[in-house]
Structure 1
């Protein structure tokens, strides 16, 4: 199901994430995955016209996978932010707190994903 997200949507997504992690017995993954999910939702709010996205939270044999898909085909490349810049650290944070992450581009847009191992 697709969502139109706003500045407050990350909080709702974190509560849903916590519910799934608790049910799956993966509570120790919450802090890292909540931060990464917040950054990906924030990127949609900042960079996707219409702010539409789909969020998938998946239980994997190794732990957790989260995907945020949107209709934009342009990928924001992860790069080092300027030391005093107000933004540009989102994907760097995702890389720092997750075990793996990446981007899959398709005809209908892109999916940014991350995985956290249990």
Structure 2
């Protein structure tokens, strides 16, 4: 079964160290790119910060980086964070049960869709998508 992969006209991809500094840099770079594209960036910036922090904290393997991809077409903004821990897929935690894991509640609240998939081995990718509202669409795409 062939699954069609959408073609995103706007793409920003960067590989960063799996550290707190790398996670902060992911948010800063992506926010500036979204601003340059003229795409609403406040909610996506929070999601990028959470997914990058998770990659640096829970997806970290010594000596391995994580990758951030920000992709957009006229209808959708997609954020992908790929880290080196394919054996640890994220799960939504009920609030108040644990110290960690609550950040995905924020992702769930802000993004229109999100999920995770294994691969390419030994990695995993956590993604989130935002539907761009009519006022946020632009004609150059």
1:18-37 matches, cutoff 5 A: 18-26=31-39, 28=40, 30-37=41-48
Indicate the SS of the match to 1:8.
helix
- CA spacing shift, 1:88–1:18, aligned 2, 3 Å: same
Preserved contact between residue 80 and residue 127 of structure 2 (Cα < 8 Å): yes
Structure 1: stretches of 5+ with no match in the other structure: none
Return the TM-score normalized by structure 2: 0.72
Per-residue CA deviations over 1:82-109 (Å, capped at 9, x if unaligned) read 26x4322111111111111111112331
Structure 2: stretches of 5+ with no match in the other structure: 1-13, 133-141
Which protein is bigger by CA-based radius of gyration?
A: 2
1:111 aligns with 2:139: no
Q: How far apart are the structure 2 equivalents of 1:110 and 1:53? A: 10
Pick aligned residue for 1:62 from 65, 69, 75? 75
Q: How far apart are the structure 2 equivalents of 1:13 and 1:3? A: 7
Distance apart, 1:8 and its partner CA: 2.6
User: 1 or 2, which has the higher helix percentage?
Assistant: 1
Preserved contact between residue 19 and residue 57 of structure 2 (Cα < 8 Å): no
Q: How far apart are the structure 2 equivalents of 1:45 and 1:10? A: 7
- Residues paired across the two proteins, number: 115
* Structure 2 residue aligned with 1:81: 95
